[in-house]
Amino acid sequence: MTDQPDFSKLGVEEVDLVDYFGFDEFETFMLPDGKQWFKFKIMNEGDRAKFQRLTNKDIKINQTTRDASIATDIADERHKLIKMSVVDWNMYAKNQTTGRFEKIDFTLSGGRGINLESWLARANPKIVDDLEFAIRQANPWMQSDMTVEEIDKEIDRLTQLRVEVEKTNAAK
């Protein structure tokens, strides 16, 4: 371990320095009731590399036709992104026996009871989409990974959502 340098000789104060060897930032995604939420981590470079390795798709080229294909599993990528990012939650579920709401402890997967993995399998797809979108927005590098087709799909989804909201507002 090296001795701490004399910062005055460098022309800086120690308080002016930034620690670039640690990056832990979190955001909270509120659910529509305003009481329940997900806490997710903004990915550091190690998280980013792991996510990219987990979701890397092989390109297959047919030697005869020279056609190329990439198999994509959008659901798998969405679930991996959420499972890698979400680190905590404040969630409640209704006990089927008592009819009362009970706080659900956060766990990623495995074991008995409700956890993030089982929640994903049973959750409202709109909430899952909104959570995924919030995570992607918090990680700007992910936006550059989007293809034109993915951006077009998102535009179509938002356009449809706008139409539905306009219909709902008109009905009120």
Q: Per-residue pLDDT tens for 8-58?
A: 666 666 666 777 887 789 999 999 999 999 999 999 888 888 888 887 766
Q: Which of 47-56, 144-153, 162-171 has the lowest mean pLDDT?
A: 144-153
Supply angle C-alpha 17, 23, 24, rounded to 5.
Answer: 125
% of the chain at pLDDT higher than 70: 78
Residue 1 has pLDDT above 60, yes or no: no
Q: What local confidence, expressed as pLDDT, does residue 34 receive?
A: 94
Q: What local confidence, expressed as pLDDT, does residue 24 receive?
A: 86
Which residue, 72, 93, 80, 55, is CA-closest to 135? Answer: 80
135 falls in which pLDDT band (50, 70, 90)? very high
Report d(CA 30, CA 131) in Å as an integer: 9
Q: Per-residue pLDDT tens for 52-110?
A: 888 776 666 777 777 766 666 677 889 999 999 999 999 999 999 999 999 999 987 66
How buried is 127 (Cβ within 10 angstroms: 0-12 exposed, 13-18 middle, 19+ buried)? Answer: middle
